[in-house]
Amino acid sequence: MYVTAEHLREQVIRPTLKYLGVWNPGTETFLLDAAVSAPDLGLFSARNDGLGLFHITAAQHRDIWDRYLAFKPDMASRIRGLASQRAFLSDPDSELTTNLSYCTAIAWLLYQRAGGHKQQPAPAQAAARFRA
């Protein structure tokens, strides 16, 4: 299966951000850039221990649930709604590798918790790189 950057943007990232009620062009472009380019941004760096499209570690995944979503029940419910019913209960980290919407939501949470929602990236520059 071949997935283009625009497919990822239009079929995964944008719908996930809209589902969470947090969509904006800058965040969409940032997440697309993080997925496609795998930049060394700390949270999304290309490293061997990360899982899925955004290279999120199991420790980051647990931390976002234990120290962030535990105190935001409405958002936790929305995120949990993206996860599969059975697989999440037996192996939550597998959702990072098998569920693109869930992985995108967790990536957005990491970005937002790190202060990314306050400093929106410039969408025009990054968007131009991903147009066909």
* Mean pLDDT for all residues in the chain: 83
Q: Note the pLDDT tens digit of each residue in 74-102.
A: 999 999 999 998 889 999 999 999 999 99
**How many other β-carbons are positioned within 10 Å of the β-carbon of residue 124?**
10
DSSP 63-85: HHHHHTGGG-HHHHHHHHHHS-T
For residues 54 and 105, the answer to whether their CB atoms sit within 8 Å is no
How many Cα atoms within 13 Å fall on the side-chain side of residue 105? 22
Alpha helices (runs of H) in the chain, residue ranges in sequence order: 5-8, 14-20, 25-37, 58-67, 73-82, 87-90, 94-98, 100-113, 123-129
Q: Note the pLDDT tens digit of each residue in 107-131.
A: 999 999 988 755 444 444 443 333 3
What is the value of pTM for the model shown? 0.82
Phi and psi, residue 51, nearest 5° = -115, 145
Packing angle, helices 100-113 and 73-82, rounded to 10:
150
Distances (CA, A) of 51 to 10, 117, 127: 22, 23, 25
